């Protein structure tokens, strides 16, 4: 049987990410304060890419990331150096976040305790559970960045 707390954590983090993206228009999604390059759109895409890479690579599976998204949204990305027209629309990113939640939740629900406690395929010093929980925590942090950008926009 799958770890229900693990699944509940994923549901809660993704639900909160999607909720903070509600009512964000395309202009607001691409705004960033002076001196910073990360936008709401970037944080949303980053959440998708990081969870996909960490979860799938931990399980020795192939990540399903749209072409070019690693360069745009990965942990080594430099959004200020990418032409704005290359970024997808926020609605597209929200759609992949929603479909990823369904797909990965189904996958996570099949994982046994033994599978979660195995060393992660790409990070042998950590377990599959530890790596995926790290991705959940990273998403929660970036959800906070989205919330902060929304507050900064409202104040400006």
Sequence ranges of the domains in the chain: 4-155
Q: What is the CA radius of gyration of the chain?
A: 16
pTM of model > 0.75: yes
- Beta-carbon count within 10 A of 146 CB: 23
What CA–CA distance (Å, rounded) separates 134 from 142? Answer: 12
What CA–CA distance (Å, rounded) separates 132 from 54? Answer: 6
pLDDT by residue for the chain (156 residues), tens only, comes to 577 998 999 999 999 999 999 999 999 999 999 999 999 999 999 999 999 999 999 999 999 999 999 999 998 999 999 999 999 999 999 999 999 999 999 999 999 999 999 999 988 899 999 999 999 999 999 999 999 999 999 998
Which CATH fold would you assign to the domain 4-155? 1.20.120
**Inter-residue contact 142 to 97 (CB < 8 Å):** no
Q: Which residues have a Cβ under 8 Å from the Cβ of 87 and sit 6 or more positions away?
A: 30, 41, 42, 45, 72, 79
Measured CA distances, 27 to 3, 56, 80, 84 (Å):
40, 32, 16, 12
């Amino acid at each position: 049987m799958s770890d229900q707390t693990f699944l509940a954590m994923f549901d809660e983090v993704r639900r909160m990410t999607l909720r903070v993206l509600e009512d964000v228009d395309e202009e607001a999604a691409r705004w960033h304060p002076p001196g910073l390059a990360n936008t709401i759109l970037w944080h949303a895409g980053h959440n998708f890419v990081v969870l996909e890479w960490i979860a799938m690579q931990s399980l020795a599976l192939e990540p399903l990331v749209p072409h070019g998204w690693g360069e745009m949204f990965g942990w080594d990305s430099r959004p200020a150096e990418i032409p704005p027209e290359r970024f997808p629309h926020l609605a597209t990113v929200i759609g992949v976040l929603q479909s990823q939640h369904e797909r990965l939740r189904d996958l996570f629900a099949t994982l046994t305790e033994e599978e979660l406690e195995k060393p992660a395929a790409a990070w042998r010093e950590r377990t599959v559970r530890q790596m995926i929980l790290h991705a959940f925590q990273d998403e929660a942090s970036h959800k906070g960045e989205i919330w902060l950008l929304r507050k900064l926009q409202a104040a400006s």
